[in-house]
Chain A
Amino acid sequence: MRTDRFGQAAIAGLGMTELGKVYGPSPRRLAAQAVRAAVADAGLTLDDVDGLLVSHGMSGSPGIELAETLGLRDLRLLTHMNAFGATAGAMVSYAAMSVISGAADTVACVFADAPLKPRQPAGSAYDSAAREYYGFTGMTAALGFRSVNAFYALAAQRHMARYGTTGEQLGAIAVATRRWAGMNPLAQMREPITVDDHQNSRWVVEPLRLLDCCLVSNGAVAVVVTSADRARDLARPPVHIWGWGQGHPGHRLERGSEFGLVTGAATSGPVAMKMAGVTADDIDVCELYDCYTYTVLVSLEDYGFCAKGEGGPFAASGALAPGGSLPTNTGGGQLSAYYMWGMTPLSEAVVQARGHAAERQVTKNDVILVSGNGGILDHHSTLILSPQPRGHRP
């Protein structure tokens, strides 16, 4: 495998709209706003953009017509992508490959969504309740599988039954993440919580409590990927893309499946780390896709930060919290900050790599791992990012 060119792409721009209960603009307008912000953040103009990757979303998210909305001309790369929560990581990897191959020079990657509606409970944005249901899909919903929460609850419960993982250990992740959120002005939930608060929060789908589940947010986030050489001369410190990987386990629902026990991180992690020339021991910061506390726990195991089945004790040790040995979800993640699918961990990684995280800035940020997780643990992405050019050794 040729590795000499892999370090030659970087993230040069980050753009974020207002996030949370943002009811006015359509997802397409939000996406355009985020792309413009990311391009300006890099010190570029829209005329410099020759590639656009648009993420799938749930609620009227734009497709490739976004290029027209932005008035982009003579693009050399344009596509709409979907690996659900793994899309952001995948977009950055395809953007990097395009830059490295010369197919495009400056690629904007964007996610936008607006599932929240005024006067509607956040949980119902991803929920389905009807009076009538049709066929097999309907049967599952009619039996009580009304949202993705139920499927993740089965995954979490399997891990708990197999390895002895406890609700308090999941709570430790919620508490650590909220501590980070308290230092992030963009976080939607900043009030400190305790494990008792977690244990007293209502059941959503047991074993998942309210404080095990991510927020729902409207908004958009974009990044701009260009060559590392070019990024060096732009407005912001480059965030070098050292490695990337995907993992799609294809868990068949049949005897022998590892559903709930092992995720795509077990594949995407080693691929990305090998490309980056690092091991789990070299990772300074983790920005993990935390649609649930449980996904953080199982991802930590699959990346090799602890042994399989030891994610619970590892999380409860305080390792993930401010001051811990493995700062994780340093902006408050999807649990406490904002839910922009894979753009949540990616945006915080860019902020930390630049050293712009102010009060919550980690002291050592040389190697940052970013994960994405989509579907019901069906799709996974990993990025290894750094403020240093690839090959840097602290």
Chain B
Amino acid sequence: MTDTGFGVLRRDGRTDAFFDGAAADQLMIKWCPACDRWFAPDASGCTDCGGPELVWARAGGQATLVSWAVSHARPRDDGSPAPAPAMLALVELAEGPWLHARLDGVDAGLLREGLPLAAAFEHPGEGEAYLVFRPTTGEEPADAHRGL
């Protein structure tokens, strides 16, 4: 993507499994073996059984769109161009958890609840890879092959 607007993303000591997966274009989320229930990557325990021992597991990467928003940078005092708008989203993974995410390669006019999406990763020159979601139907951008 041409616009990043991203800062540099770093590990914090509790996120190695997630970012190791991201580096290999794999979406890692949490799973409760006792309940066979999936959770977002930042879940700290199972809300069903109370078990703290969630394990990392690879998600399929398929998702659907729940909601979306376009973040516009504040106009700059000196009149220089502001960063391009960022397409933000809530997505529902096929496994059930929702993620706050960024959309890439989408036409804002075609967004709708339930739009099929697939996870992909951006690999910046510095720092960890970023998770983005791209539509799996319609006109995909030329660089969509970089996905999972």
Q: How far is the CA of A206 from the CA of B71 in the complex (A)?
A: 6
The answer to whether A144 and B86 touch across the interface, beta carbons within 8 angstroms, is: yes
Verify if B21 is at the interface (C-beta below 8 Å from A): no
- Within A302-318, the residues touching B (CB, 8 Å) are none
B102: which A residues are within 8 A, CB to CB? 143-144
Q: How far is the CA of A121 from the CA of B74 in the complex (A)?
A: 10
The answer to whether A202 and B100 touch across the interface, beta carbons within 8 angstroms, is: no
The answer to whether B69 and A153 touch across the interface, beta carbons within 8 angstroms, is: yes
The answer to whether A257 and B98 touch across the interface, beta carbons within 8 angstroms, is: yes
Interface-side segment among A131-139, A164-172, A330-338 = A131-139
Verify if A157 is at the interface (C-beta below 8 Å from B): yes
Most buried by A among B9, B14, B40, B128: B9
A154-B88, A161-B113, A202-B75 given; A133·B69 CB < 8 A: no
A191-212 interface bits toward B, Cβ cutoff 8 Å, 1 = contact, 0 = none: 0000000000011111110000
A132-B10, A142-B130, A144-B86 given; A252·B74 CB < 8 A: no
- Within A97-153, the residues touching B (CB, 8 Å) are 121, 123-124, 129-146, 149-151, 153
- Within B6-26, the residues touching A (CB, 8 Å) are 6-15, 18
The answer to whether A254 and B97 touch across the interface, beta carbons within 8 angstroms, is: yes
Contact partner of A205 (CB less than 8 A), chosen from B10, B69, B90, is B69
Verify if B136 is at the interface (C-beta below 8 Å from A): no
Verify if B58 is at the interface (C-beta below 8 Å from A): no
A125 CB → nearest B CB, Å: 12
Verify if A253 is at the interface (C-beta below 8 Å from B): yes
B40: which A residues are within 8 A, CB to CB? 253-254
Verify if B5 is at the interface (C-beta below 8 Å from A): yes
Q: How far is the CA of A239 from the CA of B53 in the complex (A)?
A: 51
The answer to whether A138 and B10 touch across the interface, beta carbons within 8 angstroms, is: yes
B39: which A residues are within 8 A, CB to CB? 254
A29: which B residues are within 8 A, CB to CB? none
B123: which A residues are within 8 A, CB to CB? none
- Within B70-127, the residues touching A (CB, 8 Å) are 70-72, 74-75, 85-86, 88-90, 92, 96-102, 112-113, 127
The answer to whether B42 and A205 touch across the interface, beta carbons within 8 angstroms, is: no
Verify if A354 is at the interface (C-beta below 8 Å from B): no
The answer to whether B98 and A135 touch across the interface, beta carbons within 8 angstroms, is: no
The answer to whether A142 and B88 touch across the interface, beta carbons within 8 angstroms, is: no
Verify if A155 is at the interface (C-beta below 8 Å from B): yes
Verify if B56 is at the interface (C-beta below 8 Å from A): no
Q: Which chain B residue has the least Cβ–Cβ distance from A139?
A: B9
Most buried by B among A132, A162, A206: A206
Verify if B135 is at the interface (C-beta below 8 Å from A): no
A161: which B residues are within 8 A, CB to CB? 67, 112-113
Most buried by A among B18, B42, B69: B69
B98 CB → nearest A CB, Å: 4
Contact partner of A133 (CB less than 8 A), chosen from B9, B66, B72, is B9
A138: which B residues are within 8 A, CB to CB? 9-10, 12
A134-B10, A135-B15, A142-B130 given; A154·B96 CB < 8 A: no
Q: Which chain A residue has the least Cβ–Cβ distance from B18?
A: A136
The answer to whether B97 and A253 touch across the interface, beta carbons within 8 angstroms, is: yes
Q: How far is the CA of A61 from the CA of B10 in the complex (A)?
A: 31
Verify if A260 is at the interface (C-beta below 8 Å from B): yes
The answer to whether B72 and A206 touch across the interface, beta carbons within 8 angstroms, is: yes
18 additional A-B residue pairs with CB within 8 Å, beyond A142-B9, A253-B40: A121-B74, A131-B7, A132-B7, A132-B10, A133-B10, A135-B11, A135-B15, A138-B10, A143-B88, A143-B131, A153-B70, A154-B68, A154-B69, A154-B90, A158-B66, A204-B72, A208-B69, A252-B47
Report the 9 A-B pairs with minimum CB-CB distance, sorted nearest first.
A135-B12, A144-B86, A153-B69, A206-B70, A253-B98, A158-B67, A136-B42, A134-B12, A203-B72
A residues at B contact (CB < 8 Å)? 121, 123-124, 129-146, 149-151, 153-155, 157-158, 161-162, 202-208, 252-255, 257, 259-260
